[in-house]
Copies of this chain bind each other. A is one copy, B any other.
Amino acid sequence: MQGVDPAWLPDGAFRPIGTRRTLIRGAGPLVDTVHGEVAEACRRFGGRVVRDAGADAGADGTAYDLVLELTGPEGLGSEGFTCRRENGVTHVTAFGQTGLLYGLFHVVRLGERAFTQDRQKQAHRPAVALRMLDHWDNVAVHPVMGQVERGYAGGSLFWADGRARGELLGRVRAYGRLLAACGINAVAVNNVNVHAVEARLLTDRIGEVAAIADALRPYGIRVHLSVTFAAPMVLGGLPTADPLDEGVRDWWAQTTSRVYEAIPDFGGYVVKADSEGQPGPFAYGRSHADGANMLAAALTASDSGSAAGPGGTVHWRAFVYDHRQDWRDRTTDRARAAYDHFVPLDGQFAPNAVLQVKHGPMDFQVREPISPLIGAMPGTRLAVEVQATQEYTGQQRHVCWLGPMWSEALRFRADGESTVGELARGGLVAVSNVGDDPFWTGHPLAQANLYTFGRLAWQPDANPYGLLDEWIRLTYTPTRSEESARLEAGVYAVLSHSWRTYEKYTAPLGVGWMVQPGHHYGPSVDGYEYSPWGTYHFADRDGIGVDRSVATGTGFAGQYAKPWAEVYESPETCPDELLLFFHHMSYEHMLHSGKTVIQHIYDTHFEGVEEVEAALGVWASLVDLVDPARHARVTERFEEQLRSAREWRDQVNSYFFRKSGVADAHGRRIY
């Protein structure tokens, strides 16, 4: 794309393939995609590609360097593939077309190594079937919020000038290509807060959704649609949206049937109901299971007989809490809400109704425990949602690579035995951080979050630092090849620790928030303290934190399975980094780290800024190795990050010094 950053698919990534001879065997539209990719690489770099459409055609594989073949073992499913190299031939086989495409991108990731060293046959398949991005994109542009809710990368990739961009503009297809190259296979194309214009995408504007689906389909990506629970009323003119009302059920069935006429491989619905003002089944005295199951039934009915792929699912968000809480009432605890609402419904959801749960009990703070819901609904298909868009983690003006946070979450044994990655049988979902920005994500280094999410969704127990290396090698081709080690080491140094750096200079010890209300950028220690949002730290002159113990607090700690309920219940066993999430502690309390709470606050805030300064220095040293536009954009963001980090440091330190009266042990300047 002209003027668009190539991200992790620069031309050079295809050079190892494009300079060689490739045979492609198999037929179908995604095999055409594979062929197109290889053919373009050969056109550019001088190699050759042969297409052998017959399943058992006779071309001699040994005449080629790379064979991509659609005859793999069925056991790997439609997305798996094998890869081996022997006798000078690199061989990729897959049973499904999508698997062949993923196999091609696997070879791209291997680079020259794919053709220089023999390798045993190895099977690859995704651990998680649904690897999804939720776009909080609106069709209409809000005068304040912009077009993408919590978007920090320009306008929407999908919607422009009030209409779908469709495939003609090419950018959507290019996006699908990037996503396939990191393993994402589903995209919800509109905001979960469904406004008036966007509601109509379900009905008279479904053709626009189909145009986006057409652009993404060649890369194995299915589209999903966020719908409003009130659709039968606002679109259908019915007097009710009661999920047990026959008229309502008929309306959804017929509407969904028309959706499948337009999009045969439609992925399903995403619903935010009874949440932050959105309508839902509570209005009719129905449960969330009633609501979700009605939509699941409509999807099942419409989808039966379709050969386009697995059936449609409804992704029902568990983000239900009282957002009009009274801050004076300390017995209500927002952290408890999802568990309290949904655990009683376990076992009641239809097989194609997926409950989509945020990874933490609050809302994508820089540090939260895992949602106890995840370990407590064995009879329900859960999808786990993370947030790639950096709403609370620097809004793509700060470097904050979230790989380690997500990895910790996915490897957490939520029910005491299985990991979150294993429990996420309904999929892994990230709120997208992409827009129509030339660098895709505003901050060029925020691409690493998108890439890492896709790869972690494929393999939740992967080492995130290895994925970071992978992204860097693909994305940062040095202008001088002998400098690749310096370049890779530099970008790695800037990113690898950045989440912990961000945590250091923002809200301490898991307590969260302390952001400016509304837009959520920059510090405001008391910004949410007296709000109706259930987001408090309760700092006074003696201490800080939320007592969520069973013994003396809100009881939230008791929602966890063993051993976590016991671990979190006591300050003695609670990990430092979550201490203030679970307990109200004196400023003088000694952490496991050997520091007091107040000294920890001071130290981390000074360290955080120092780390940003150091990272900026590293980035500056790479100026000769990075594309000038990309380097300049990152530098500009870094300067804002440094300004903002200093503001965080000084506001947080001053706030707690004024409250506690405790001086910094090292006598540093606190205003």
Contact = CB atoms under 8 A, between A and B. Distances in A.
Interface string A511-532: 0000011000001111100100
B658 A328 contact: no
A650 B529 CA distance: 12
A506 to B, nearest CB: 14
- For this complex, into which size category does the number of interface residues on chain A fall? 20 to 34
Given A526-B526, A530-B524, A539 B654 contact: no
Nearest to A650: B328
Contact of A526 (B144, B328, B525): B525
Contacts of A589: none
Contacts of A655: 526, 530
A659 B661 contact: no
A539 B657 CA distance: 11
Contacts of A586: none
B526 A661 contact: no
Contact of A660 (B541, B657, B671): B541
A542 interface: yes
Interface in A10-29: none
B541 A659 contact: yes
A237 interface: no
Interface string A649-665: 01100110111110000
Contacts of A542: 661
A118 interface: no
A519 to B, nearest CB: 10
Contacts of A660: 541
A56 interface: no
A540 interface: yes
Which residue, of A327, A539, A660, has the highest number of chain B Cβ atoms within 10 A?
A327
A530 B648 CA distance: 10
Nearest to A531: B524
Which residue, of A527, A539, A657, has the highest number of chain B Cβ atoms within 10 A?
A527
Contact of A671 (B328, B647, B650, B659): B328
A594 interface: no
Contacts of A526: 524-526, 655
Nearest to A540: B658
A149 to B, nearest CB: 16
A327 B646 CA distance: 12
Contacts of A539: 658
A654 B530 contact: yes
Contacts of A661: 540-542
A466 interface: no
A143 interface: yes
A527 to B, nearest CB: 8
Interface string A301-325: 0000000000000000000000000
A556 to B, nearest CB: 20
Contact of A659 (B328, B516, B530, B659): B659
A344 to B, nearest CB: 31
Contacts of A659: 540-541, 658-659
B144 A530 contact: no
A541 B327 CA distance: 22
A112 B484 CA distance: 96
Contacts of A530: 523-524, 647, 650-651, 654-655
Nearest to A669: B328
A655 to B, nearest CB: 8
A299 to B, nearest CB: 37
A665 B609 CA distance: 43
Contacts of A657: 540
Contacts of A517: 516
Interface string A128-144: 00000000000000011
B658 A541 contact: yes
Contacts of A651: 530
Contacts of A527: 524
A542 B661 CA distance: 9
A115 to B, nearest CB: 57
A671 B516 CA distance: 23
A413 B497 CA distance: 62
Interface string A183-217: 00000000000000000000000000000000000
A658 B530 CA distance: 13
Given A541-B660, A659-B659, 20 more contacts: A143-B143, A143-B144, A327-B671, A328-B650, A328-B654, A328-B671, A523-B530, A524-B526, A524-B527, A525-B526, A530-B651, A530-B655, A539-B658, A540-B657, A540-B658, A540-B661, A541-B541, A541-B659, A541-B661, A658-B659
5 A-B pairs with least C-beta separation: A143-B143, A540-B658, A328-B671, A530-B651, A541-B541
15 contacts: A144-B144, A327-B671, A328-B650, A328-B671, A516-B517, A523-B530, A530-B650, A530-B655, A540-B657, A540-B658, A540-B661, A541-B660, A541-B661, A542-B661, A659-B659
